[in-house]
Structures are given as C-alpha cells and as structure tokens.
Amino acid sequence: MIKFPEGFYWGAAASAYQVEGNNKNSDWWEWEKKSGKEPSGDACGHYQLYKEDFALARELNHNAHRLSIEWARIEPQEGKFCLDEITHYKEVIASLRQCNIEPVVTLHHFTNPVWFAGSGGWKNPAAADLFLRYVEKIVGALAEEVHFWVTINEPMVYAYHAYILGAWPPQERSYLQAKKVITNLISAHVKAYRAIHDIYKRRNLKPPAVSIAKNIQAFAPSVPTLRNRVAVYLRQRSFNFAFVNSLMRHKSLDFIGINYYTRGLVNVESWLIQVLLFDESKAKESGLKKNSLGWDIYPEGLYKLLLKFRRYRLPVFILENGICTPDDNLRWEFISAHLKSLYLAMQKGVRVMGYLYWSLLDNFEWDKGFAPRFGLIEVDYNNYRRRVRESARKFCEVCRTGTIDI
C-alpha cells in the first residue's frame, strides 16, 4: 500500500468549451460549422448542470476541480464585458466552494473569442495585451474565491495543432507563424502572472498560486538510430522544457502544472530541422496497451519526466492525466499505474501538490468529437444523464484515504 501526504489535492479536470455547450462566440464554434467536424452543440450541458456535476464530484471525495473560463462568454465583443456571464462563473466557483472543492481555474483552454481570432488571434502583436484586459476583468471578479490560476493550457500543443499541423483553427501550417504565437503566449502568461499577483497584493489577499498547464511527453526513439536520438533530444528540449525555461527566466511560475498522457515514439526520415522537431512519426508498433485514440499507455514516462522537473525546484501539480477507453478496467489500470509512478517520483524528491484526472465527465474531444470517452462519469448524450463508472468509485477510495493498494 502507498500513502500520499495529508492535504494532497485529488480530483478531476475539465474545460469550458468541452463540457458547457453553446459557446457561440468562440472561434471553435465558427470553425466547426466550416470544417464539417462533429459540432460541440450542447456538449455535456454542464453550463446548466454544473451543480449536479459538482455534487457528484463531492460524492466521489474530490477536494479539487479544474475548470476553465470561456473568454468569449466574458468578452463576446472586443472591450465589452458581459456581467451576466461573470456572475455565472462566480456562481460556479461558489458552488464548488459549497462542496468543499478547491477550484483550479484556467483562463485560456484552446478557444478564443471570434473577434480576437478575427484580429489575427495569437499572431497579433497586441494579443498579450488583449488577453490581459480579460484576465484583469475576470480575476478581479473572482480573486476572493480562487487561489490556483492556470493562465494558459498547453501552449505548445495549441501552437502545434493550430499553426504547424493545421488541424485546429485557424489551420495554418507555418513554423514562422507558430514561433510568433509561442512568443505571444509567453508574453501573455508573464503579463497575466504579474497582473494576477498585483490584484491580490492590492486587496491584501494571500498571494495566489499561478502557473500554466504544461503538456509533457516521454519521447523515445522508435528505432535507436542516431537521427532518431537527435530528434528525441530536440523534441524533449523544445516541447517539454523550452516554454517552462522562458517562464522561469521571467520568474513567473509559482508551481508547475503538468498534463501527462503518453509517450511519443520518434522515427524521422530526414535530417531537416523541421522534420527532426515536428514531423509526425511513422513509428514501429510499440507493443504497449493503448487508449482508444491509439496513444501508448506509458506510466513510467511520468516518473522519468518528473525527475527531470526537479531542476526547477518548484512544486508540481498534475493538472491532467487520463485515458479515453471503452474498457473501464483499463481506465482503473491506467490511473493506478500513473499514481504509482507519481508516488515513486515523490519518493525521489519531487514535490507534488495534487493529482487531477482528465476528465470528470465524458466530453467533446475537439476535432475528434464525442467518441473518445475520458470521463470518470459517463454521459449519455441523448438525455445528458450521468452514470458514475466503476473506476470513479475506485478512485473515490484513493481520494478518501490518500492511499492505494499496489
């Protein structure tokens, strides 16, 4: 049996666009119509059902929950803020507090207001300042009730999918534009970090804990050729660490938010730098078990990567770790194996504050639509009924006791 420390945060994560439904002023909403992809529609109806969902999380002994604020609801037109939506999110946070669940609030999770996207989105040199105005508004409204802030979810994943792969809006394929986007995301975080701290200081509140959610991948060569090993080294550096290094240089992280799902097997066919860094690999079959999107299940990767994160001397918070699968036994196997890895890393000196499973509910998995099932709680999209999965009950025991039999 292993035992996690007292005061550990246990819970699940979600993002507004993926669960709320009807985020009609967001760029994804527009894009769904054009792209012919499965539309998010009412999603999980969480915008209306959040109280019921949080009551379930409470029943499952969660003491923390990560949610995001939809920027396009708060600022549907440039510079015009919607008070009703601000009130809505105040009520959402209050409802978590009533359940004794600590909110972890993300300010940007992949989606943008249509007007922002129209003005060049994250390529626009003014992007960070435009983001800052929204941040000041919403943090100003919620500061008294929120301690944990995540400015930007997975900036590198966003830049890669939207500006290199061309799979997400605005579907560009340009290294140069991606680089601009990353620079602006860094600047947006740093400005937001300072603004959030200023707000708390001005109001004499206990200092907040601010970070990003950094997706990390355990890269490994598919076949250990020199070229593949060089590619692994470069990807590790640029994808896993470069963004965090920049934020560290700006002294703008209070902890490190980590999202971990899988390993990336690397097999590249040329020495071109963009191929080494970004090409989707035609890797050999790994032989590992997979989630329903074909991602390798590789819990050891979390352990190995966390040891590398010790160098930052900051506490780590696992803000996402999860599996989409029709096999709920595999879900539990996934969770328990990752918790074991996490525990082993803690034994080696990694300070971990908490673990949030992705996701509380089945939800809208971006360009993959509703087919992938990540939830601890199943959603029947015909009637929005929730059903607690067996894996959620097992995880509930971990949350209750802070221990797990391994």
Catalytic (active-site) positions: 154
Sign (positive or negative) of CA dihedral 313, 352, 17, 364: positive
Rounded to the nearest 10°, the torsion over CA 53, 59, 61, 64 is 20
* Residue 122 vs 200, nearer CB to ligand BGC: 122
Q: Could you say which residues in the range 87-116 bind ligand BGC, by CB under 6 A?
A: none
* Residue 72 vs 404, nearer CB to ligand BGC: 72
Select the residue interacting with ligand BGC from 215, 281, 321, 336 (CB under 6 A): 215
In whole angstroms, how close is the CB of 192 to ligand BGC at the nearest point?
A: 18
Span from 39-47, 150-158, 204-212, 378-386 in contact with ligand BGC (CB under 6 A)? 150-158
Select the residue interacting with ligand BGC from 75, 85, 154, 254 (CB under 6 A): 154
Span from 86-94, 153-161, 347-355, 398-406 in contact with ligand BGC (CB under 6 A)? 153-161
Give the x/- contact pattern for ligand BGC in 14-43, rule: CB under 6 A.
-x--x-------------------------
Residue 153 in contact with ligand BGC, rule: CB under 6 A: yes
Span from 124-132, 151-159, 192-200, 238-246 in contact with ligand BGC (CB under 6 A)? 151-159
DSSP state of 241: I
| Whole-number Å distance between alpha carbons of 30 and 262 | 30
Residue 165 in contact with ligand BGC, rule: CB under 6 A: no
| Whole-number Å distance between alpha carbons of 110 and 162 | 9
Select the residue interacting with ligand BGC from 187, 259, 325, 341 (CB under 6 A): 259
Residue 243 in contact with ligand BGC, rule: CB under 6 A: no
DSSP 53-112: HHHHHHHTT--EEEEE--HHHH-SBTTB--HHHHHHHHHHHHHHHHTT-EEEEEEESS--
In whole angstroms, how close is the CB of 146 to ligand BGC at the nearest point?
A: 19
Q: Which residues contact 346 (CB under 8 A, 6 or more apart)?
A: 4, 5, 352
The one-letter amino acid code at 132 reads: L
Determine the 3-state secondary structure of 132 from DSSP. helix
b (16+ CB within 10 A) / e for 201-235: eeeeeeebbbbbbbbbbbbbbbeeeebbeebbebb
Select the residue interacting with ligand BGC from 258, 299, 365, 398 (CB under 6 A): 365
Q: Could you say which residues in the range 323-352 bind ligand BGC, by CB under 6 A?
A: none
Residue 320 in contact with ligand BGC, rule: CB under 6 A: yes
Residue pair 190/250 in contact (Cβ under 8 Å)? The answer is yes
Interface with ligand BGC by CB under 6 A: which residues?
A: 15, 18, 153-154, 157, 215, 259, 320, 358, 365
